[in-house]
Each structure stands twice: as C-alpha cells, then as structure tokens.
C-alpha cells in the first residue's frame, strides 16, 4: 500500500505543479498570464523533479503509466503491481486537477475562452492530424522512457537522478512539445480531463473526448518502445 500511496501522492504533486503553471499562464488576470511556453515547460520539468524527489523512496516514482508499463515489459517491474500503480496514478492526477481548479477559482469566470480552460487540464494538438499526433506522442514518450532508463543506469551522486529526469522532461517539452503539448503520460492527460468534465467550471466547454484516446494510447506505445530499445541496446 505504501507504494500505491506514493504513486498517488507523486502524481498529485505532478499535476498540482504542472497544471498549475499552465493555469497561471493561460487564465485571465493571473499574475503569470501570457508568460509563455518556456515558463510552462520549465514548470512541468520542476513538477516532475519535485514529484520524484517526494516519493521515489516509496514507489520508485513512476508517476506515469507509460513508465510503469515500460519497466514491466523490460522485466524491471512486477506485472502484478501494474494495475494498482495505474489506478493510483489516475486518482492522483484527478485529485491534483481538482486542487488546481480550487487554487485558481476566481479566474475561471474571468477567462472567456473555453479552450484555454480545457488547456489547463489536458493537452490538445496545435494541428489536429491523427497520424501525426500519434507519432509525436510516441516519439516524445520514447525519449522520456529511454532517457529515464539511461539516467538511472548511471552511477550518479545521491539525489541527482530526480533533477535530471525533470530536466529531461523540460528538454522534451522544449524540443517536442509544440505539436501536441507533450502529454507523454496517460494519467497526466486523462485524470485531469475527467476532472474538467465533472467539475463545475465557470464557462467551460466540452472535454474534447474525440482526441482523448491519443494521449493515452500513443504514450503507452512510446514507453514500451523506449524500454525495449534501451534494453536491447544496453541490457
């Protein structure tokens, strides 16, 4: 149970800080309004680093079903624990999104564009093109899992790996995030999307369910490929 609680808390922290920075940039009359993509990517990178630091000693800090499945297919994680980890991650992401909604409560009514409100919770492509969007998310998550495997394989000074993983996510956001908003994490996208659907958000629109399967399926594929590629190349 400690491991599942760790995944719940870690993913909740990830979303509080990650969706929180997006809310700050997108919502009207926030002090961070219009501060831009670099702020969002930096905020997400720090969100990952802090989340991993907080729970790595309890659960390994996967905080991402694609990472959990990647470790399992490479033989480094017990398949019996995969469902529990994913459930904990989804619940943590949902609760984190609810807390972001509460933190920015007056700003939802101030923001006219329902697309910006949805953008706080979940990703959407800059150009809707299903094959291209799938490919982008596969490549981004491939780099995430391949990079995580590479980082933890090194003999690093104590406590350095979570920071490097955060910097990896920053790099992915800056380099590959433009086309789809780099979900690269099914829980990060689906949990908050469900929160958007059920919360009484002032002036919200639809939750874009037609796109929602892509940031779930494609990251899982990318995570599996990244894990298998690293294992095949380096053992």
What is the tens place of the pLDDT at every residue in 100-130? Answer: 999 999 999 999 999 999 999 999 999 999 9
pLDDT at 21: 98
pLDDT at 235: 82
pLDDT at 124: 98
Q: What's the mean pLDDT in 145-156?
A: 96
Q: What's the mean pLDDT in 22-49?
A: 98
Average pLDDT along the chain: 98
Q: What's the Cα-to-Cα distance from 51 to each of 62, 76, 125, rounded to whole Å?
A: 10, 21, 26
Closest CA to 223 of 163, 170, 171, 149: 149
pTM for the model: 0.97
Taking 90 as the threshold, does the pLDDT of residue 137 lie above it?
A: yes
pLDDT at 158: 82
pLDDT at 116: 98
Name the CATH code of domain 2-234 (choices 1.10.3450.40, 1.20.1080.10, 3.90.550.10, 1.20.1530.20): 1.20.1080.10
Query: What distance lies between CA 46 and its chain's CA centroid?
Result: 12
């Amino acid at each position: 149970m400690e491991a599942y609680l760790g995944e719940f808390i870690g993913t909740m922290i990830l979303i509080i800080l990650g969706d929180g920075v997006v809310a700050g940039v997108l919502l009207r009359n926030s002090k961070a309004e219009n501060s831009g993509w670099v702020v969002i990517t930096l905020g997400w990178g720090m969100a990952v680093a802090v989340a991993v630091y907080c729970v790595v000693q309890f659960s390994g800090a996967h905080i991402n079903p694609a990472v959990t499945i990647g470790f399992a297919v490479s033989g480094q994680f017990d398949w019996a624990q995969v469902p529990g980890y994913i459930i904990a991650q989804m619940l943590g992401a949902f609760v984190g999104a609810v807390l972001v909604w509460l933190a920015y409560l007056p700003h939802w009514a101030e923001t006219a564009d329902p697309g910006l409100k949805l953008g706080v919770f979940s990703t959407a492509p800059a150009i809707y093109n299903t094959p291209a969007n799938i490919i982008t998310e596969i490549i981004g998550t491939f780099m995430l899992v391949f990079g995580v495997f590479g980082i933890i394989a090194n003999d690093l000074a104590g406590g350095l790996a979570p920071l490097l993983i955060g910097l990896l996510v920053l790099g992915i956001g800056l380099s590959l995030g433009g086309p789809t908003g780099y979900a690269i994490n099914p829980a990060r996208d689906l949990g908050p999307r469900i929160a958007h659907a059920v919360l009484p958000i002032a002036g919200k629109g639809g939750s874009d369910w037609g796109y929602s399967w892509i940031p779930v399926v494609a990251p899982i594929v990318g995570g599996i490929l990244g894990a298998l590629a690293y294992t095949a190349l380096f053992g």
